[in-house]
Chains A and B, each alone.
Chain A
């Protein structure tokens, strides 16, 4: 007998589905004239939904432990909501341009489905739910990447993403099948109870981890990242690099802590080496990029390496630092992509770094936001990025990982060098290939940039947020 009371634990998912249905009917039944307000309606409904996420929620386990809702998952979903809201604000000009105007409804609907998949992924208490959530997140995302139908680049990126994501889920499932063979269950709680360090389990773990590492674009599995980020529409690139990556990191840390917590000796070294290679190679390859979206693809690879530091710590503090890092990363990276979208819309799709030359002369406000965001990503003190890096280094150092923290610190210096290349292009270089003149951006994007700037300034100084996350996290 099915207990429908279980659905009460899924308030956020159900809210998202209601939102989806509302927008769906609006998209189908509204006349072309009424659809002029689609952006306004979609954004305000989603903003209401984001606020709804901060109201008290039911917490507990539903469907025999398949679905878990706790304070932590609610908070993580709120982070993803905020990031998605900012992304919705940034896409207006692109979405209302000639080639995409007739399918703007689809854009919002597909994005909401991917978000639902990420919710399921975070809240899963069973590997089947994790897998379904992951697929629900990555399949529609491939459609979004290939959204610019008439652009060869976009189609190419779409093909690369869908093939790689299918391969990675195949590898992950292969690992899961071994884990099932060894442990006899898919439930997190049962698996961690029976966990033993047998060769079959280790083999399964390595495959499972590689599958998720594709999604997180850690270094040996990162080769798709740059191409896909460059080819995708800018809003989707932001979504990929922030929301999709954040959700994968959160799902991975839950799986590592809850299921593989007792064999942490085994995965500790794997993560240790991966973190070092990811941070270093991401940084080194970023230096030689000429295209700004590729540049931030490699920068986001190295940021994913920093996230691993929090996982390696394996303590409640590590988890807090990681979640806080994702929160700060949302605001900094979204600000960057908001500025890129603004410049790209104005220059008809020019994404070379040279397109930013002399931005300070023509658009001081935009270049100022970009500077703040880049400083925050690089970890310069007064901004939020400094605090998030500091916490994550502290979490790793408290576990005695001094060498790791030292290498990561050296890498922040390298990263400062290439982040400053962008500052140099904006403030010092004069000649611009497009003769950039002063231009104005749409109001939605302005709002998003203001939110991001406020986030970059404020989050680091309100210790309440960090302390709140700290009360929610747990260690191995």
Chain B
């Protein structure tokens, strides 16, 4: 799941699709934490807590990213990363 996310981040051209790939990466990590906690250290809860915090922060991240993407959409008229090429040397 993590590497599907990375793959999506690299090959997708649509900003929203890139954001979805990022969610995939972060969800993979969340599951990883929960699973390690459940099977290796069932007597404690640290991994579960980390997942909870991670989910909350990821939601905040998505909100900010969407806001910025909307702003970019207003400026360039679409959400294709190919058009984010104003700055080049």
Contact A174 B84 (CB under 8 A): no
A170 at the interface (CB under 8 A from B): yes
Q: Are B86 and A152 in contact (CB under 8 A)?
A: yes
Chain B at the A interface: mostly helix, strand, loop or mixed?
Answer: helix
Q: Which of A7-15, A82-90, A178-186 contacts B (4 or more CB under 8 A)?
A: A178-186
Q: Which of A157, A181, A226 has the most CB of B within 10 A?
A: A181
CA distance A37 to B77 in the complex (A): 38
Residues on A with C-beta less than 8 A from B32 are 174, 177-178, 181
Query: Which label, helix, strand, loop or mixed, suits the secondary structure of the A interface?
Result: helix
**A229 to chain B: closest CB distance in Å?**
10
Residues of B that sit less than 8 Å from A by CB: 2, 5-6, 9, 15, 18-19, 22, 25-26, 28-29, 32-33, 36-37, 40-41, 44, 46-47, 49-50, 53-54, 57, 60-61, 64-65, 67-69, 71-72, 74-76, 81, 84, 86-87, 89
For A172, give the chain B residue with the smallest CB separation.
B29
Contact B49 A128 (CB under 8 A): yes
**Most chain B Cβ neighbours within 10 Å, of A176, A231, A294:** A176
Whether A180 pairs with B50 at a CB distance below 8 angstroms is: yes
Say whether A290 faces chain B, with CB atoms less than 8 Å apart.
yes
| Chain B residues with CB below 8 A from A139, complex form | 60-61, 64
The answer on a CB contact under 8 Å between B89 and A158 is: no
Residues of A175-207 at the interface with B, using a CB-CB cut-off of 8 Å, are 176-178, 180-181, 184-186
In the complex, residue of chain B having the shortest beta-carbon distance to the beta carbon of A294 = B89
User: Is the pair B72, A167 in contact by a Cβ cutoff of 8 Å?
Assistant: no
Give the distance in Å from the alpha carbon of A231 to the alpha carbon of B81 in the complex: 16
A438 within 8 Å of B (CB atoms): no
Are B54 and A143 closer than 8 Å at their CB atoms?
no
Are B72 and A159 neighbours in the complex by a CB distance under 8 Å? yes
Are B25 and A180 in touch, CB under 8 angstroms?
A: no
Of B28, B61, B71, the residue contacting A135 (CB under 8 A) is B61
- Decide if A149 touches B71 in the complex (CB within 8 Å): yes
Residue ID in chain B nearest A184 by CB atoms: B41
Contact count band on A? 35 or more
Contact residues in A for B69 (Cβ distance below 8 Å): 159
B33 touches A180 (CB 8 A): yes
Name the residue on B nearest A288 (C-beta): B89
Contact partners of B60 in chain A: CB under 8 A: 135, 139
Would A162 and B25 be within 8 Å (CB), given that A135-B61, A181-B36 are in contact? no
A and B contact pairs by CB, cutoff 8 A, 9 listed: A135-B57, A153-B87, A159-B72, A162-B68, A166-B26, A166-B65, A230-B87, A231-B87, A289-B89
Contact between B9 and A155, CB atoms less than 8 A apart: no
Indicate if A173 sits at the interface (CB-CB under 8 A).
yes
Given contacts A151-B75, A153-B87, A170-B29, 6 further A-B contacts (CB under 8 A): A139-B64, A146-B68, A166-B26, A167-B9, A174-B25, A184-B40
Query: Do the beta carbons of A162 and B65 come within 8 Å of each other?
Result: yes
CA distance A289 to B54 in the complex (A): 39
> Which of A132, A173, A288, A291 has most B Cβ within 10 Å?
A173
The contact string, 1 if C-beta is below 8 Å from chain B, for chain A 120-153, is 0000000010011001000100110010011111
A162 CB contacts on chain B under 8 angstroms: 61, 64-65, 68
Q: A159, B61: Cβ atoms under 8 Å?
A: no
Residues of A near B72 (CB, < 8 A) are: 146, 155-156, 158-159
The interface residues of chain A lying within 8 Å CB-to-CB of B47 are 177, 180
Q: Are A159 and B15 in contact (CB under 8 A)?
A: yes
Does A227 belong to the interface (CB within 8 Å)? yes
Q: Are A132 and B65 in contact (CB under 8 A)?
A: no
The chain A residue sitting closest to B84, CB to CB, is A156
> How far does the alpha carbon of A180 sit from the alpha carbon of B57 in the complex, in Å?
19
Once the chains bind, are A170 and B22 in contact (CB under 8 Å)?
A: yes
Of A156, A166, A185, the contact of B61 (CB 8 Å cutoff): A166
